[in-house]
Amino acid sequence: MTNKRSRITATLLVLVVTFFGGIAVAQATTAETVISVQQNPCGDLTGFKHSALSSLPSEATTTYHLIKKGGPFPYPDKDGTVFSNRENILPKCASSYYHEYTVPTPGSPDRGARRIVTGSGGEFFYTGDHYATFSVIDVDGTPSPTCGDTSKLAKVGYSTLSSAAKSVVDSARGGAAGTVYENREGVLPSCAAGYYQLFPVGTSDRVISGKGGEIVYTPDRYTTFGLVNLAG
């Protein structure tokens, strides 16, 4: 009888350990999932130089419009092919995330060294030295976010900001760290936790930067928001 009771006790102990162990595994898996969602491996453009499309060679604008239209391209066997990111300068993403397009160089006997590389998240990158360096292209001076749509936000010209606000915008674009903006007002696109950084300017105005390079200005402590046109 004693041996039978011992076997029953041991069996119950195994079941209890298995049950609670399963809960722990499930909790750990859930935690890992949350972390992976918040730390999206693609589209984090923090630290990248930004270039307005209008500041690039005119051929880059032509190539950009061809990309938006779907062609025709000057090198149809090359343009639109997968860019493998062997240099590991761009964020590490899936193997088919990036595609490259030729930006013709006048007078060059071949394709030259200039390219636009696109990301599946809507990013546009420019390299003028055959992948040695990249900058994020800010179309019309307003960077495209890697999450959500900011097209409905009012536009604010950089030149119209106060000198203090300009200084904060410059710091934010340069990769300075602010405090996390939680987007409680729900005006900005809903993104992963930590996507937005908040920078105080004066008593009521604030600058908010997104990891996609977008800069938002609020002059009245989150009552109204404007997307900063960095070329305006």
User: DSSP of 192-214, one letter per residue?
Assistant: -TT-EEEEE-SSS-EEEEETTS-
By CB atoms closer than 10 A (0-12, 13-18, 19+), residue 60 is buried
Residue among 165, 154, 176 at smallest CA distance from 227: 154
Active site residue 100: yes
Q: Is 32 a catalytic residue?
A: no
User: 5: which residues sit within 8 A by CB, 6+ positions away?
Assistant: none
Which residues are bridge partners to 156 per DSSP? 228
- In the set 32, 130, 182, 185, the catalytic residue is 130
Q: Which of the residues are catalytic?
A: 100, 130
